[in-house]
Amino acid sequence: MASSVDEQQYDERMKMLKAFDETKAGVKGLMDSGLLKIPNIFVRPSEELAQESLLTYKNTTTQIQVPVIDLSDIQSNNADKRKQIVEQVRIASETWGFFQVVNHGIPLTVLDGMIDGVRKFNDQDVMEKKKYYSRDIKRRVRFNSSYDLFTSTTASWKDTLTISFSGPAHPEELPPSCRELAMEYSKHVEILGNSMLGLLSEALGLKTDHLENMECSEGHRLHCNYYPACPEPQLAIGITNHSDAGFLTILLQNQIVTGLQVLHQGQWLDIQPIPGALVINIGDLLQLVSNGKFRSNEHRATTSHIGPRISVACFFSGPLNGDMNKIYGPIEELISEENPRVYRNVLLSEYVANFLSTSMDKYRALDYYKL
């Protein structure tokens, strides 16, 4: 039986994806081979490209920025100052779902070290990187171009090293090129994650340790994203339009070029890198347990002629290596007659399985669990 044109195109695409995946060299491998045009698997659909100019803010004419929150007073015993910070966190979480933090307590040397570690990992000989190339989610350390390469509409112009930190540490499993630097960053970002969950709990009118007691920060995962310079950035995408699935994300980005964009009033707005700052965003699970009070906003990363752009996203997504039978639902204290429950309960194992079965551009967890 002759297959339709669509089926032929699909088969052709799968073949190209497979060939690319089998190089185990990622997008950087393509660029190192001296590419001048991007392969078809990375070209966004024409309808999407046609929409693009309508959707992008001209940042030269707007001063709009996601809120920047100074955390320097969070440790002081001054209750008023802490209240002011909590109020800023509440407003930012309800409206944008995104903000940047400065004076967060992680030394600049640790941030720069982490970026440097990712650069070193990616710059080393491809044979060394291949040892980590895998899509097996049971592996605590895995390198690939993107987890949804075979399911997404457009392949992402990036390579990602994923490192899971949960349970006892196994430093020997980490690549030597970034081992110490990633361990050090992980230690600091975990502390910041917990103090952010404290502020977020208070911003919901709950006790400081409420979200931590729900095991929201039980383990975390680093996605070290490496976006090589792209010869045709207007046709490609670094990471497609998505919202993060977990509770909370802390994102570190290098300073060379903008890339991260957030959806604001239907248009894409750049999140400008600020030296020493970290981006914080609310994920789908936190929107769900806050019964919709906090917002998990859509975002993406563009590509550029300038590169590499490096980012490290730290996801706090609950006890993924622990009790997968854990159930999350809207927090009782936040539900009342005036505020009825808007989401149903989630079984963590089912939530993760749903997420992994498709691509981030086709599945939005929150729609699925809405009542």
By CB under 6 A, residue 148 contacts ligand OGA: no
Specify the residue, 240 or 291, whose C-beta has the smaller distance to ligand OGA: 240
Decide if residue 270 touches Ni ion (CB under 5 A): no
Q: Which does 308 bind (CB under 5 to 8 A by kind): ligand OGA, Ni ion, none?
A: none
> Which positions from 217 through 246 interact with Ni ion, judged by CB under 5 A?
244
Q: Using alpha carbons, select from 79, 66, 262, 283 the residue that is nearest to residue 196.
A: 283
Identify whether the C-beta of residue 162 lies closer than 8 Å to the C-beta of residue 219.
Answer: no
Give the nearest distance from C-beta 281 to ligand OGA in angstroms.
8
What is the distance in angstroms between the CA of the first residue and the CA of the last residue of the chain?
44
Give the number of other Cβ atoms within 10 Å of residue 61's Cβ: 6
d(CA 82, CA 88): 10
- Per CB under 6 A, which of residues 245..274 are in contact with ligand OGA? 253, 259-260
Q: Report the C-alpha gap between 169 and 289 in whole angstroms.
A: 29
Distances (CA, A) of 204 to 72, 184, 218: 21, 31, 20
To the nearest whole angstrom, how small is the minimum distance from the Cβ of residue 72 to ligand OGA?
A: 25
CA 262 vs. chain centroid, Å, equals 12
Three-class SS of 199-233: HHHHHCCCCCCHHHHCCCCCCEEEEEEEECCCCCC
The single residue among 313, 314, 331, 352 that binds ligand OGA, judged by CB under 6 A, is 313
Residue 148 touching Ni ion (CB under 5 A): no
- Cα within 13 Å of Cα(129), Cβ side: 23
Question: Which of the listed partners (Ni ion, ligand OGA, none) does 129 bind, with a CB threshold of 5 to 8 Å by partner kind?
Answer: none
Minimum CB distance to ligand OGA, residue 42 (Å): 16
Contact between 164 and ligand OGA per CB under 6 A: no
Nearer to ligand OGA, 14 or 306 (CB): 306
Options 89, 211, 301, 346; binder of ligand OGA; rule CB under 6 A = 301
> Which residue sits closest to Ni ion, CB atoms considered?
244
Q: Work out whether 225 is an interface residue with ligand OGA (CB under 6 A).
A: yes
The answer to whether 240 contacts ligand OGA (rule: CB under 6 A) is no
Nearer to ligand OGA, 148 or 244 (CB): 244
Among residues 82, 221, 223, 295, the one that binds ligand OGA under rule CB under 6 A: 223
Alpha-carbon gap, residue 259 to 156, rounded angstroms: 13
263 and 298 Cβ atoms separated by less than 8 Å: yes
Cis amide bond preceding 308, omega within 30:
yes
The answer to whether residue 299 forms part of the interface with ligand OGA (CB under 6 A) is: yes
Count residues contacting ligand OGA (CB under 6 A)?
11
Tokens of 353: 């399985």
What stretches of the chain adopt beta strand conformation (E)? 68-70, 98-102, 141-144, 159-165, 220-227, 239-242, 248-253, 260-264, 267-270, 278-282, 299-301, 309-316, 327-328, 346-347
Q: Of 69 and 260, which CB lies nearer to ligand OGA in the complex structure?
A: 260
> Whose structure tokens read 């015993």?
77
Q: Per CB under 6 A, does 308 bind ligand OGA?
A: no
Q: Which is nearer to Ni ion, 24 or 242 (CB)?
A: 242
Among 244, 270, 284, 361, binds ligand OGA (CB under 6 A): 244
Q: Least distance to Ni ion from the beta carbon of 201, Å?
A: 22
Instruction: Give the binding site for Ni ion (CB under 5 A).
Output: 244
Which residues are near ligand OGA by CB under 6 A?
Answer: 223, 225, 239, 244, 253, 259-260, 299, 301, 311, 313
